[in-house]
Amino acid sequence: MGLEELDAAAFDRVSGSSAAVIDVWAPWCGPCRMVTPIVERLASRYSGKVQFGKLNSDDYGEKAGQLGIMSIPTLLFYKDGKLVDRIVGAYPEEVIDEHVRRLL
């Protein structure tokens, strides 16, 4: 399925799945641009097992506020519709991958 651009309704659908990772980002954010290719690779690697999405915090600031996003990039990890983990900032692929594997 790959990395889906999310609006508020798609966010609810993806985050409600059995395992999901949502990248909260903005186009002007340098660290976000560093994380995007990592998340894209992981979305490909875990296709069919974990749903991945991107939520633009500029376009959906109200939703980002509801989620308690204070800094971007923030990766949100959902298991069975519940937020179970989050990473704030740019991390190496191995670190992010470990968080994704915990969802399985």
Is the per-residue pLDDT at 2 higher than 90?
A: no
Residue 75 has pLDDT above 80, yes or no: yes
| Domain housing 91 | 3-101
Considering the candidates 29, 50, 69, 96, report the single residue annotated as catalytic.
29
49 classed as catalytic? no
Domain at 56, CATH number: 3.40.30.10
Q: What is the pLDDT of residue 72?
A: 97
In this predicted structure, the answer to whether residue 103 has a pLDDT above a threshold of 80 is: yes
3: β partners: 52
pLDDT for the residue numbered 3: 80
CA distance 63 to 50: 22
Is 59 considered catalytic here?
no
Tell me the residue type at 98.
E
pLDDT in tens, 9-51: 899 999 999 999 999 999 999 999 999 999 999 999 999 999 9
The pLDDT confidence band at residue 8, using thresholds 50, 70 and 90, is: confident
14, 20, 22, 32: the catalytic one is: 32
Q: Tell me how many domains the chain contains.
A: 1
